């Protein structure tokens, strides 16, 4: 989770083809909502050269697109299913 300009949000790494397909991207965001309740969720996918593409709330996605990946404090979460 990140907080920028007073907005807390989650960035989730997914396969690039999910970010590129709006239907799959919306479904992925819905699937992650239970893990990040009440937070905007932004998806990030990378192409073969490592260039990131973002999908989600447009103001946050545009902000992230102008930041280097190294500026994002990545954390790994492990979720188990019951």
pLDDT along the chain (82 residues), means of 10: 88 96 97 94 96 95 92 83 64
The answer to whether residue 34 sits within a structural domain is yes
Q: How many domains does the chain have?
A: 1
79 lies in a domain? no
What is the predicted pLDDT for the residue at 82? 62
What is the enclosing helix (H) or strand (E) of 9?
Answer: strand 7-13
Residue 78 lies in a domain: no
33 in a domain, yes or no? yes
Residue 55 lies in a domain: yes
Please give the pLDDT value at position 52.
96
pTM: 0.89
Angle (CA) 64-68-71 rounded to 5° is 85
42 is a domain residue: yes
Q: What is the pLDDT of residue 3?
A: 87
Task: Tell me if 77 is assigned to some domain.
Answer: no
pLDDT of residue 24: 98
Q: H/E element holding 59?
A: helix 58-65
């Amino acid at each position: 989770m990140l907080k920028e300009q007073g907005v807390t949000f989650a960035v989730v790494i997914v396969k690039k083809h999910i970010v590129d397909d709006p239907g799959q991207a919306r479904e992925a965001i819905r699937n992650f909502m239970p893990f990040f309740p009440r937070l905007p969720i932004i998806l990030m996918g990378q192409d073969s050269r490592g260039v990131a593409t973002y999908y989600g709330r447009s103001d946050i996605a545009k902000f992230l697109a102008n930041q280097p990946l190294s500026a994002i404090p990545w954390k790994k979460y492990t979720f188990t299913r019951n």
